[in-house]
A and B are shown apart, each in its own frame.
Chain A
Amino acid sequence: MSRENDKNVFELVLEMLEERFKDDNRKASLAKRIFKEFLISGKRGLDRIVREEIYKALESEDGNETTIEENRGRRI
């Protein structure tokens, strides 16, 4: 039996994710986080991770702005 036979599914998944995203640490890390969090907390954990990632993407240097005040300043 090959070396793979000695490994459980958890180890295999992590190894394969690592292999799959070997050129992109960020993706590898995110995929592993998703896998582990899903095993621990199920769909809720997965949702939380995605929420965090969305928040990170939406976050800007000047805060999480949503709207711009209209008609600021006077017309010339």
Chain B
Amino acid sequence: MKLRLKKIEVEGFKVFSRNHSLDFNAPIVVILGPIGTGKTSILEAVEYALYGSLYSIKIRREFRVEDLINDFCDNLAVKLILTDENGVEYEVYRYRDRAGRVKAYLKVNDETIEDEWSKIDSQIEHLLGIGLEGYARQIALRHREIEDIIYGTDMQRSEALDRLLGIETLEKIFRSIPLKRIEDELSKIQNQIEIIDIRLRKEEPLDELVGKLERYKKELFEAEEKIRERERLLSRYRDELKKLKEKEKEYEKIREKEITLKAEIAQLKKRLKALEKEVLEEDLEVLVEKIRSSIMSALKEIMAYKDLEEIEKLELSQIKLDVMLRVFHEKLRKLEIALENMNEEALDINYQLASQRNHYNALKRKLADLEAKMYTLEKEYNTFKFLTEKFGSRAEIRKKIEKLEIELGKIDNLIRLNTCINDLGKHVLSAYIKNGEAECPVCGTKIDDEILKRIKKRLSAPREEAFNRDKILKNLEELKRAYSKLIELEEKIIEMREIENERNNLAKELDEVSANIEELEDLISDIDFKISRINNLIASASSLLLKLARVREIVELRKELEVKKQELNKVLKKAMEVEFDKNYYNTIEEKYYAALSEYNNLSSYLKKLNIDIENLKEKIAYIQELVNKKVRLEKKAVKLSRLRDDLIEIKAAFREIQSSIRRIVVRRIIEKMNDLFQQMYVHPDFSELTIKIRNVKFKREGREYERSMYEILAKRTRDGKWIPALKKMSDGQKRIVILSLLTALFRLSPHNVSFIILDEPTPSIDYECRKAMIKMLAKIEGIDQIIVATQDESFKRIVQDEPAAVIYKLRHEKEGADIEVLR
């Protein structure tokens, strides 16, 4: 498959702000135009469409992809159509905006097969069979590359040719392998090894330290043996001491018991002596009888005959003494209870007596009060007697009162009548007295003054009835007073009678209380006597019992003393049996402490030895670590040295391979180049070309390098000599030589491209040679299409004979470059 260009559309790409379309579907396409009209831009647009970048951006990094966008546009778009010999169309589209957003697709016969940018790159590379770098060197032949080869220094020329031959990478690799870095690392390691050596020199030799450690270990072993021996000895002493301590403990216990017993015996003796001094020894039987007698007498007093009988029946014996004493105590307790009861009874009687006495006194006071009242009431009684004697009984007085009241009523009526008559008379008299003279209303006679005075006197004079009324009224009041008094006195007399009765009753009661008091006084006297007697008897019995108890205690103490003495004898015997030797104990103890001290000293020594050994081990480990570290570092140094040697070898290999490949490629090229040269160069002065390789030493950045230099030689027809083409030939001849070389490279390259792009290929070449060159290129097998970008207007004439050639004319416009199709 061989691909050729069919069409390109550009918009916003470099000088092209508007959309432009160029049809490349011709064997020769000439893009004409003055400087800056966009000839090279179109060629770059083809490169960008194919590879998404430019060689000058990606490899040389001369500018950025964003710089491809036209200054008046926000994005660029390039669409390129390629076609193969079978008419299959390949359309590749690339879009990029200033924000870095990209779009792309690859269509084959209008069918999208890929729309991912990076994948399109590899697809195109696969389709063309050549990468961006190869494309830039072998397909799109730039003016600059040609200029570098022709006019550059020997070094620049050689480098450019190496680039074209594809072997400059090997040169770069040769130069770039960073051996210095490895040298630096090696130097660092050597420094570290040196530091370790210095440290090691400061330390004692390792074998000496190991020897010392062995000695210490031996000492440690011996010390451990000794300490074990001491441990055994200590254990033996410890056991012995333990036994002795147990014996001592037992001995001490016996001694304590002995002391306690002796103290108890002394105490008992002291107590016995005191008791014997206190109590005169008396016959026990006599004492018992005395107690019995006292208790019996007391029991008689409280009439406890049953208890009496019980006491009487008790028989004295040594065995029954306790029983007897218990019974005595019981009876005494009973007597005490009885005594308590009697005391309570006496208290009760005393209380009754006091109560009766209080009652008696109260009665006496009440009787005195009654006597006083009686005396008052008796006076009232005499008044009553006097009134009844004077006015009669109350009923009689009542009758008299009623009679007088009737009489009084009659008089009052009479008085009222007389008063009316008098008032009437006075009224009448006043009515008939005129001017001091009065006339009789009946007869009409004049009444003289005398008569008038008499009449007036008569009318005003008090009447007899009035006198009687006052008399009756006086009697009536007197009777009423007497009547009232009698009522009052009658109540008093009733009261007096009641008091009299009460007084009599009180007197009787007083007599009774008095008799009671006497009786109670007798009773209390009896009880007090009895209590006193029983008290005495109980005190006597108690005293005797106490004495009896002391006597008994003496007997008991004597017995106890005997027991303690026997016990003491036993303890003393046991103490003899224990056989505890304090001196022996002390000796063993001293030996134990001496052994312990020795053991402690050995322990300290052992501890110190252990510390010394540990320190020594640490030191040995430290030195060992240093040695190990040194060994490791040395190993690393060896590895690094090996790496350095390897890289030196690899470096040399690249140089050798470069030379070999150079020779192979140059051999290939010479053949093709001559073939092309002979077709392109139509003049007879030079017939053949060759490339000579020589090694030259040079210095760069202070280091000396050796590299291969190319010399292109042309065989002069006149004398058959090989002369340096790029020094002796004219500019045009040189350009034809280089174009022959480049075209040979195109031929040799195993790609799928059938077009060649020439950017300004023929300055300084004469018209004939230019024409021959284009014709030759068009004839070369594998080149179906030639794209030429040039300022040279003569190309119009050169391609005149080529009917299928297309000529585009580019020119400057205000809004950027414009394209015109000339043919």
Contacts and interface: CB of A to CB of B under 8 A. Distances in A.
A21 B654 CA distance: 12
A72 B657 contact: no
Given A13-B170, A50-B182, 10 more contacts: A8-B166, A8-B750, A9-B165, A50-B177, A51-B181, A54-B181, A54-B185, A57-B640, A68-B629, A73-B618
B640 A1 contact: no
Nearest to B649: A27
B570 interface: no
Interface string B633-646: 00110011011001
Given A20-B653, A50-B178, A65-B629, A13 B647 contact: no
Interface in B589-621: 612, 615-616, 618-619, 621
A57 B199 contact: no
Contact of B625 (A5, A30, A39, A68): A68
B622 interface: yes
27 contacts: A8-B749, A9-B166, A12-B664, A13-B657, A16-B653, A16-B657, A20-B656, A31-B653, A34-B173, A35-B654, A38-B176, A43-B176, A46-B176, A51-B181, A53-B643, A54-B640, A57-B639, A58-B639, A60-B636, A68-B626, A68-B629, A72-B618, A72-B625, A73-B615, A73-B619, A73-B622, A76-B616
B653 A17 contact: yes
Given A39-B169, A60-B632, A50 B181 contact: yes
A50 B185 contact: no
Given A8-B749, A16-B661, A34 B650 contact: yes
Contacts of B643: 53-54, 57
Interface in B145-204: 165-167, 169-170, 172-173, 176-178, 181-182, 185, 192, 196, 199
Chain A facing B: main interface SS: helix
B660 interface: yes
A3 to B, nearest CB: 11
Interface of A: 1, 4-6, 8-10, 12-13, 16-17, 20-21, 26-27, 30-31, 34-35, 38-39, 43, 46-47, 50-51, 53-54, 56-58, 60, 62, 65-68, 70, 72-76
Contacts of B646: 26-27, 30
In this complex, the member of A21, A31, A56 whose beta carbon has the largest number of chain B beta carbons within 10 angstroms is: A31
Interface of B: 165-167, 169-170, 172-173, 176-178, 181-182, 185, 192, 196, 199, 212, 612, 615-616, 618-619, 621-622, 625-626, 629, 632, 635-636, 639-640, 642-643, 646-647, 649-650, 653-654, 656-657, 660-661, 664-665, 668, 748-750
Contact of B178 (A4, A5, A47, A58): A47
Contacts of B182: 50, 54
Q: Which 5 A-B residue pairings sit nearest by Cβ, starting from the closest? A: A73-B618, A57-B639, A9-B166, A16-B657, A31-B650
A57 B166 contact: no
Contacts of B170: 13, 35
B192 A66 contact: yes
Contacts of B172: 38, 43
A35 B642 CA distance: 19
Contacts of B626: 68
A20 B172 CA distance: 19
A9 B665 contact: yes
B199 A70 contact: yes
A75 B199 CA distance: 14
Given A9-B166, A9-B661, A30-B650, A65 B622 contact: no
Nearest to A32: B650
Nearest to B662: A9
Contacts of A56: 639
Given A54-B181, A60-B632, A73-B615, A38 B173 contact: yes
B173 A46 contact: yes
Contacts of B649: 27
A31 to B, nearest CB: 4
B300 to A, nearest CB: 111
Nearest to B748: A5
Contacts of A46: 173, 176-178
